[in-house]
Amino acid sequence: MEPNSSPNTPTAAADASVRVPGAPHEPTGRAAGAHTDTFARDHLPPPEQWPELLLDDPAPRYPDRLNCGHELLDRTVEEYGADRPALRSGDGGVWSYGELRETVDRIAQVLAEDLGVVPGNRVLLRGPTTPWLAACWLAVMKAGAVAVTVLAQARAAELATICSLARIGHALCDARSLEDLVAADVDGLRITPFGGEGPDDLTRLAEGRSGPYRAVDTAADEVALIAFTSGTTGRPKGCMHLHRDLLAIADTFSQHVLRPSADDVFAGSPPLGFTFGLGGLLVFPLRAGASTLLLEQAGPQHLLPALARHRVSVLFTAPTAYRTMLGQLNGHDLSALRRCVSAGENLPEATWRAWYEATGLRIINGIGATELLHIFISAADDAIRPGMTGVPVPGWQARVVDERGEELPAGEPGLLAVRGPVGCRYLADPRQTEYVRHGWNLTGDTFVREPDGYFRYVARADDMIISSGYNIAGPEVEDALLRHPEVAEAAVVGRADELRGEIVVAHVVLTEGSEQTADSLRAHMKAGLAPHKCPRVFVFEESLPRTATGKLQRFLLREDLREDRA
């Protein structure tokens, strides 16, 4: 199959992609893109609102023409061979790289020839984490379309909003996840199920195709995916990422920090609808010629037996999962496990030390963002310092700044500012100028840069509690609570108070059978924290609100407090 024809105009992304610190913004003269549907290109932020991108050594460099689906699959087959295992499922099934490529090529042919998908069309992907969902994503990449992967748990209203914002006309959906997508009643949306029994099921259509599919000749800086934030604080934001961005996260964090080998087996809890999961469970293993275990159910109770059964060596999950698994380790063989990665939420030092004492494994802590696709500050092996996030990943820069964008001295808390080979590009959203300031991406996190260059997480900027003039970081108080052996989970928020402005409120989940009281926990806290940081109110919960990736939703606890006062 020949590549699709491309318009003879440079993309807006190409103009902005080689901007470097201190250099004027100039067009690059890159080759024309392949997108015939130019919606994504047309809705990129104006070039002057882009962050500065670091594209010189040690950041990776790429040719002007690049299709990440071709690079992650076809190039990997060329380098490592078609017979190596690529995708594993929880039931023991294994797809080789050759089988994966054949399936992806058949799906791509269906997209282009049966469904009428043209380069640049947005294709919504929905379903549990399975090899078929991964194959659909790769097919969308090779077809030159734009993937919009959403959670299987997303409801009709959420799906309708995303489809409207991204002008989505096609959807590939696991047959088990159709109900809410159909209920969204998106005008003009063509839904093609996979894994069902109907004659129009994608699996049946793909069976009628054969032969290799030549990936669309996309430009490296054409949009490959739109990743939507959760939208918990208003309208969801679509983060647009380019073909070269998908390789850049593998060639920075994965290559320099994770350092995988082709013999590794990856697994984890984040779904492919989150960029943490997309990178850790698909992009990174494929880039390294490794295999990945894709689990439909990936809670802590499912992870441990799966790690043992499939001899998993690289694990991606959230801090809460590591802490939960600590009480369930007995009887599970984790001898193959060599890399444990934590992101999505700050990793408490108490959790790091407890995991290390129980397993001998050092968790690789990291901070990433949907806007920047994956992890940009981290450390591994002997460079790990418990309680610290780490240092900028090679190819990235970070600093701590004040509200004016001025860099703060070491030891002083401020806003984290980051730049690297990937930057924030919101889909037609005025909030672009809030996230990108003075050429840097401001993540919304409060950090401290230590004198030796290590970065220490303090809190989300909106999670700081101000009580009687003191700035109190909720995560610091949570970490102290988690040092108590009978505290399973903790979340700390502020409650409005006429006298002090705010008071510290701790929401606590105790271990099974615990008889701890507010007074006993208060005594524990006063032994390790300054009095003004100790919670004045303890609320005992059966569970805490979390996202699908385990990220704590403190805003829901704050809303509960407001409702309680009403």
Q: Please write the tens of the pLDDT for every residue from 374-391.
A: 999 999 999 999 999 999
| Tally of structural domains, the chain | 2
Question: What is residue 145's predicted lDDT score, i.e. its pLDDT?
Answer: 98
Paired residues of 366 in beta bridges? 378
Structure token digits, residue 57: 């050594």
Q: Give the domain-ending residue among 421, 456, 491.
A: 456
pLDDT the model gives residue 465: 86
166 pLDDT more than 90: yes
Burial class (CB in 10 A: 0-12, 13-18, 19+), 518: middle
Do 481 and 364 sit in the same domain of this protein?
no
pLDDT at 230 over 70: no
Q: Please tell me the least confidently modeled range out of 68-82, 209-223, 320-334, 456-470.
A: 456-470
Alpha helices (H) in 484-550, listed in sequence order:
518-526
**102 and 75 belong to one structural domain:** yes
Q: Is pLDDT of 322 > 60?
A: yes
Residue 523 is assigned to a structural domain of this protein? yes
Its sign, for the CA torsion 526, 529, 535, 541, is: negative
Summarize the confidence of residues 293-315 as an average pLDDT.
95
Q: Tell me the residue length of the chain.
A: 566
pLDDT confidence tier of residue 12, bands split at 50, 70 and 90: very low
**pLDDT score of 6:** 31
Region 82-89 average pLDDT: 98
- Residue 24 is assigned to a structural domain of this protein: no
Alpha helices in 91-194, H assignment, sequence order: 97-109, 131-142, 156-166, 178-183
Query: Do residues 230 and 257 both lie within one domain?
Result: yes
Please report the pLDDT score of residue 18 as a whole number: 33
Tokens of 26: 């100039």
**Given pLDDT bands bounded at 50, 70 and 90, which one contains residue 27?**
very low
Is residue 400 domain-resident? yes
Model confidence band, residue 412 (pLDDT cutoffs 50, 70, 90): very high
Strand-pairing partners, residue 448, are: 456
- For residue 526, is it left (φ>0), alpha (ψ between -120 and 50) or beta? alpha
Beta bridge mates, 480: none
- Cα-flanking dihedrals φ and ψ of residue 209, to 5°? -110, 155
The pTM is what? 0.84
Asked whether 82 and 97 are in contact (CB, 8 A), the reply is yes
Domain of 555, CATH number, reads 3.30.300.30
- With beta carbons less than 8 A apart as the criterion, state whether 169 and 191 touch: no
Question: Is 50 exceeded by the pLDDT of residue 10?
Answer: no
Q: Considering 399, 434, 456, which residue would you say is the last residue of a domain?
A: 456
Q: What is the mean pLDDT of residues 182-196?
A: 97
User: In the predicted model, is pLDDT for residue 548 greater than 90?
Assistant: no
**Count of C-beta atoms within a 10 Å radius of residue 407:** 12
- Whole-number pLDDT of residue 5: 32
Cβ atoms within 10 A of the Cβ of 450, count? 14
Does 270 map to a domain?
yes
The C-alpha angle 282, 131, 133, rounded to 5 degrees, equals 85
Domain-located, residue 554: yes
Q: What is the pLDDT of residue 558?
A: 81
**Do 128 and 269 reside in the same domain of the chain?**
yes
Q: What is the pLDDT of residue 565?
A: 36
Together in a domain, 184 and 236 = yes
pLDDT of amino acid 4: 36
**pLDDT band at 563, cuts 50/70/90?**
very low
Same domain for 294 and 172, yes or no, is yes
Tell me whether residue 18 is in a domain: no
Percent of the chain with pLDDT over 70: 92
**Judgement on whether residues 420 and 527 belong to the same structural domain of the protein:** no
Grade residue 74 by pLDDT with cuts at 50, 70 and 90.
Answer: very high
Please, which pLDDT band fits residue 469 given cuts at 50, 70 and 90? Answer: low
In the predicted structure, residue 510 carries a pLDDT above the cut 90: yes
Lowest mean pLDDT of 4-13, 53-62, 285-294, 332-341, name the range.
4-13
- What CATH number is associated with residue 335? 3.40.50.12780
Question: Mean per-residue pLDDT for 465-491?
Answer: 86
Q: What is the pLDDT of residue 552?
A: 82
d(CA 476, CA 189): 47
Reported confidence tier of residue 296, pLDDT bands at 50, 70, 90: very high
Q: Are the C-beta atoms of residues 293 and 302 closer than 8 Å to each other?
A: no
Cα 548 to Cα 546: distance, rounded to the nearest angstrom: 7
Please report where in the chains the tokens 């003191």 appear, as a residue: 470
Same domain, 473 and 539: yes
Q: Are 420 and 501 contained in the same domain? A: no
Domain boundary among 456, 482, 515: 456
Looking at the structure, do residues 520 and 546 belong to the same domain, yes or no?
yes
Q: Looking at the predicted structure, is the pLDDT value of residue 429 above 90?
A: yes
Q: What is the mean pLDDT of the chain?
A: 90
Rg (C-alpha) for the chain, rounded Å, is 24
Residue 19 counted as domain residue: no
Which domain covers residue 559, as residue numbers? Answer: 468-565
pLDDT band at 43 (very low <50, low <70, confident <90, very high): very high
- Is 352 a domain residue? yes
Give the pLDDT mean for 137-153: 96
Query: Is there a contact between 393 and 364 (Cβ–Cβ < 8 Å)?
Result: no
Q: pLDDT tier at 233 (50, 70, 90 boundaries)?
A: very low
Percent of the chain surpassing pLDDT 90: 75
- b/e per residue 329-339 (b: at least 16 CB within 10 A): eeebebeebeb
The Cα–Cα gap between 25 and 23 comes to: 6
**Would you say residue 366 has pLDDT above 80?**
yes
pLDDT, residue 23, reads 30
Angle separating helix axes 131-142 and 97-109, nearest 10 degrees: 60
- What six digits make up the tokens of 545? 């609100």
174 and 194 in contact (C-beta within 8 Å)? yes
Cα of first residue to Cα of last residue in the chain, in angstroms, is 64
Please return the burial class of 237, using the count of CB atoms within 10 Å of its CB with bins 0-12, 13-18 and 19+: buried
Residue 85, judged by CB atoms within 10 A of its CB (0-12, 13-18, 19+), counts as: middle
Query: pLDDT tens digits for 434-454?
Result: 999 999 999 999 999 999 999
